[in-house]
Amino acid sequence: MVMTGGQTETQTLTGQLSGLRVALCNFREPRQAAAGGAEEYAWQISRYFVAEGAEVTFLTSREPGQSRQERCDGIDLRRMGNRFLVYLLVPLWLLLRRRRFDVVIDCMNGIPFFSPVVVRRRTTVISLVHHVHDRQFHAFFPRWPARVGCFVEGPVARLVYRRCPTVTVSESSRHDLREKLRWLAPIQVIPNGSPARVRTEGPPASGEPALVYVGRLIGHKRVEQVADLAEQLADDYPALRVHIVGRGPELEPLAAAGRERVHVHGFLDDPAKDAILASALLNVTASEFEGWGLTVIEAAALGVPTVAYDVAGLRDSVRDGETGWLVKEGETFADVVRRAVKELSDPRRRTEIQLACVTWAGQFSWSRTGANMTELLLTNSDIKRSE
pLDDT at 11: 54
Domain interval for residue 32:
21-193+365-379
Who's near 119: CB < 8 A, 6+ residues apart? 94, 95, 98, 101, 104, 125
- Give the tens place of pLDDT for each residue, 214-234: 998 988 899 999 999 999 999
Position 6 in a domain: no
Residues 32, 144 within the same domain: yes
Compute the distance between CA of residue 178 and CA of residue 186 in angstroms, rounded to an integer: 10
Residues 171, 320 within the same domain: no
Amino acid found at 328: K
Position 241 in a domain: yes
| Phi then psi dihedrals of residue 126, to 5 deg | -115, 125
Residues 51, 188 within the same domain: yes
Q: Are 337 and 229 in contact (CB under 8 A)?
A: yes
Helices of type H across the chain: 37-51, 86-96, 115-118, 134-140, 143-151, 157-160, 171-179, 223-232, 251-256, 270-278, 294-301, 314-317, 333-344, 347-361, 366-379
Residues 275, 156 within the same domain: no
Position 199 in a domain: no
Residues 356, 280 within the same domain: yes
pLDDT band for 384, please (50, 70, 90 cuts): very low
pLDDT at 8: 42
- Give the tens place of pLDDT for each residue, 152-175: 999 999 999 999 999 999 999 999
Beta bridge partners of 56: 22
Residues 285, 311 within the same domain: yes
Position 250 in a domain: yes
pLDDT at 144: 85
The per-residue pLDDT of the chain, averaged, comes to 89
Q: State the total domains in the chain.
A: 2
pLDDT at 12: 55
Question: Looking at residue 352, which CATH number applies to its domain?
Answer: 3.40.50.2000
- Give the tens place of pLDDT for each residue, 18-43: 989 999 999 999 999 888 889 999 99
> Within 10 Å of residue 249's Cβ, how many Cβ atoms?
12
Amino acid found at 4: T
pLDDT at 140: 73
pLDDT at 257 over 90: no
pLDDT at 204 over 50: no
Compute the distance between CA of residue 374 and CA of residue 368 in angstroms, rounded to an integer: 10
* Least confident piece of the model among 113-122, 200-209, 286-295, 344-353: 200-209
- Give the tens place of pLDDT for each residue, 46-67: 999 999 999 999 999 999 999 9
